[in-house]
Protein backbone atom coordinates (compact mmCIF):
# COMPACT_ATOMS: atom_id res chain seq x y z
CA UNK A 1 0.00 0.00 0.00
CA UNK A 2 2.66 2.47 0.99
CA UNK A 3 4.96 1.95 -1.92
CA UNK A 4 3.08 3.84 -4.69
CA UNK A 5 2.75 6.97 -2.51
CA UNK A 6 6.38 7.87 -2.74
CA UNK A 7 6.67 8.10 -6.54
CA UNK A 8 3.40 10.08 -6.62
CA UNK A 9 4.76 12.51 -4.03
CA UNK A 10 8.07 12.73 -5.83
CA UNK A 11 6.32 13.41 -9.13
CA UNK A 12 4.17 16.05 -7.52
CA UNK A 13 7.25 17.69 -6.05
CA UNK A 14 8.85 17.60 -9.46
CA UNK A 15 5.79 19.19 -11.10
CA UNK A 16 5.68 21.82 -8.34
CA UNK A 17 9.35 22.51 -8.88
CA UNK A 18 8.79 22.96 -12.61
CA UNK A 19 5.80 25.22 -11.99
CA UNK A 20 7.64 27.23 -9.36
CA UNK A 21 10.74 27.76 -11.42
CA UNK A 22 8.76 28.65 -14.54
CA UNK A 23 6.73 31.22 -12.58
CA UNK A 24 9.95 32.53 -11.07
CA UNK A 25 11.63 32.53 -14.48
CA UNK A 26 8.71 34.38 -16.04
CA UNK A 27 8.76 36.98 -13.27
CA UNK A 28 12.49 37.50 -13.59
CA UNK A 29 12.33 37.75 -17.37
CA UNK A 30 9.69 40.47 -16.98
CA UNK A 31 11.22 42.33 -14.03
CA UNK A 32 14.84 42.32 -15.16
CA UNK A 33 14.34 44.36 -18.36
CA UNK A 34 12.00 46.73 -16.46
CA UNK A 35 14.56 47.33 -13.73
CA UNK A 36 17.38 47.78 -16.23
CA UNK A 37 15.19 50.18 -18.21
CA UNK A 38 14.73 52.34 -15.08
CA UNK A 39 18.46 52.84 -14.59
CA UNK A 40 19.67 55.54 -16.98
CA UNK A 41 22.53 54.55 -19.29
CA UNK A 42 25.96 56.11 -18.74
CA UNK A 43 26.35 58.87 -21.29
CA UNK A 44 29.88 59.25 -22.57
CA UNK A 45 30.70 62.93 -22.29
CA UNK A 46 32.56 64.50 -25.12
CA UNK A 47 36.01 64.88 -23.67
CA UNK A 48 36.11 68.63 -23.85
CA UNK A 49 39.33 69.45 -22.07
CA UNK A 50 39.91 72.97 -23.31
CA UNK A 51 37.24 75.65 -23.68
CA UNK A 52 37.11 79.34 -24.45
CA UNK A 53 35.73 80.62 -21.15
CA UNK A 54 35.73 84.37 -21.70
CA UNK A 55 37.65 87.46 -22.78
CA UNK A 56 40.08 89.48 -20.69
CA UNK A 57 38.54 92.72 -21.90
CA UNK A 58 35.09 91.69 -20.66
CA UNK A 59 36.20 90.63 -17.18
CA UNK A 60 36.51 93.38 -14.58
CA UNK A 61 38.78 92.90 -11.56
CA UNK A 62 36.86 91.62 -8.52
CA UNK A 63 34.21 89.85 -10.61
CA UNK A 64 33.29 86.39 -11.84
CA UNK A 65 31.29 84.78 -14.64
CA UNK A 66 29.85 81.34 -15.20
CA UNK A 67 30.99 79.53 -18.34
CA UNK A 68 30.08 76.20 -19.93
CA UNK A 69 32.68 73.52 -19.39
CA UNK A 70 31.24 70.60 -21.32
CA UNK A 71 27.87 69.95 -19.74
CA UNK A 72 28.86 71.51 -16.43
CA UNK A 73 29.16 75.10 -15.22
CA UNK A 74 32.57 76.55 -14.41
CA UNK A 75 33.35 79.91 -12.81
CA UNK A 76 35.95 82.31 -14.14
CA UNK A 77 37.24 84.86 -11.64
CA UNK A 78 39.35 87.96 -11.91
CA UNK A 79 40.67 88.64 -8.42
CA UNK A 80 40.86 92.18 -7.04
CA UNK A 81 44.60 91.96 -7.80
CA UNK A 82 43.78 91.23 -11.45
CA UNK A 83 44.71 87.55 -11.53
CA UNK A 84 42.47 85.22 -13.57
CA UNK A 85 41.45 81.89 -12.07
CA UNK A 86 38.95 79.19 -13.00
CA UNK A 87 37.13 76.59 -10.90
CA UNK A 88 34.28 74.16 -11.21
CA UNK A 89 31.15 76.14 -10.28
CA UNK A 90 29.50 73.10 -8.72
CA UNK A 91 29.41 73.47 -4.95
CA UNK A 92 31.09 70.61 -3.12
CA UNK A 93 28.21 70.48 -0.65
CA UNK A 94 25.00 69.67 -2.57
CA UNK A 95 25.88 70.66 -6.14
CA UNK A 96 24.31 74.11 -6.39
CA UNK A 97 26.01 76.55 -8.74
CA UNK A 98 28.27 79.01 -6.89
CA UNK A 99 28.77 82.72 -7.66
CA UNK A 100 31.39 85.42 -7.12
CA UNK A 101 30.50 87.95 -4.42
CA UNK A 102 32.27 91.24 -5.15
CA UNK A 103 31.31 92.56 -1.70
CA UNK A 104 33.01 89.61 0.04
CA UNK A 105 35.83 89.27 -2.52
CA UNK A 106 35.33 85.53 -2.70
CA UNK A 107 33.14 82.72 -4.00
CA UNK A 108 29.80 82.00 -2.34
CA UNK A 109 27.04 79.44 -2.69
CA UNK A 110 23.53 80.79 -2.12
CA UNK A 111 21.90 77.44 -1.38
CA UNK A 112 23.42 76.68 2.02
CA UNK A 113 25.67 79.68 2.61
CA UNK A 114 28.97 78.03 1.70
CA UNK A 115 32.09 80.20 1.25
CA UNK A 116 35.25 79.53 -0.78
CA UNK A 117 38.36 81.71 -0.94
CA UNK A 118 40.09 82.83 -4.14
CA UNK A 119 41.97 79.53 -4.29
CA UNK A 120 38.69 77.60 -4.25
CA UNK A 121 39.30 76.44 -0.70
CA UNK A 122 36.19 75.92 1.45
CA UNK A 123 36.51 78.46 4.26
CA UNK A 124 33.11 78.45 5.96
CA UNK A 125 29.66 76.90 5.86
CA UNK A 126 28.81 73.30 5.04
CA UNK A 127 31.01 72.55 1.97
CA UNK A 128 33.28 69.62 2.86
CA UNK A 129 35.81 70.01 0.02
CA UNK A 130 37.39 72.76 -2.09
CA UNK A 131 36.20 73.56 -5.61
CA UNK A 132 38.07 71.78 -8.39
CA UNK A 133 40.57 74.21 -9.90
CA UNK A 134 41.16 74.45 -13.65
CA UNK A 135 44.22 75.65 -15.53
CA UNK A 136 43.91 79.07 -17.19
CA UNK A 137 45.68 80.07 -20.42
CA UNK A 138 45.41 83.58 -21.76
CA UNK A 139 46.11 83.96 -25.48
CA UNK A 140 45.73 87.54 -26.49
CA UNK A 141 42.27 88.59 -25.34
CA UNK A 142 40.92 85.05 -25.08
CA UNK A 143 40.85 83.06 -21.86
CA UNK A 144 41.11 79.29 -22.31
CA UNK A 145 40.37 76.94 -19.44
CA UNK A 146 41.49 73.33 -19.28
CA UNK A 147 41.38 70.50 -16.77
CA UNK A 148 44.50 69.57 -14.84
Partner 1 sequence: MKLVRVNGIYDWLDDRLGLEPLAAHAREKVVPLHRHSIWYYFGGMTLFLFGVQVLTGILLLLYYRPGEDTAFESVQFIIADVPFGWLIRSIHSWSANLMIATLFIHMFSVYLLKAYRSPRELTWVSGTLMFFIVLGFGFSGYLLPWNKLAFFATKVGTEVTGVVPVVGHFSARLLRGGDYVNGATLTRFYGLHISILPLAAFGVLFVHLLLIQRMGMSVPRSVEGQQMKTVKFVPNFALRDLMGWLVILALLATLATLFPWELGEKADPFASAPAGIKPEWFFIFMFQTLKFLPAKIGPVDGEVLGVVAFGVAALFWLLVPFLDRKSARGEKSPVFTLIGVIALLYITVMTVIGYLT
Q: Which residues bind partner 1 (CB under 8 A)?
A: 38-40, 43, 66-68, 71-73, 75, 89, 91, 93-99, 109-113, 122, 125-128
Instruction: Please report how close the Cβ of residue 106 comes to partner 1 at its closest, in angstroms.
Output: 14
Residue closer to partner 1 (CB basis): 5 or 47: 47
Q: Which of 78, 80, 76 is nearest to 88 (CA)?
A: 76
- Chain centroid offset of residue 43 CA: 12
Beta bridge partners of 14: none
Residue closer to partner 1 (CB basis): 2 or 103: 103
Residue closer to partner 1 (CB basis): 13 or 60: 60
- Report how far residue 123's alpha carbon sits from residue 110's, in angstroms, rounded to the nearest whole number: 15
Amino acid sequence: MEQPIRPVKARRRFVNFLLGTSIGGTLISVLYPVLRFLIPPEVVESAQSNVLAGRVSELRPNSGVIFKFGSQPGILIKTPAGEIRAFSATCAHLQCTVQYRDDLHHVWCACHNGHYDLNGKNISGPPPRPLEQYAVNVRGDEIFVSKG
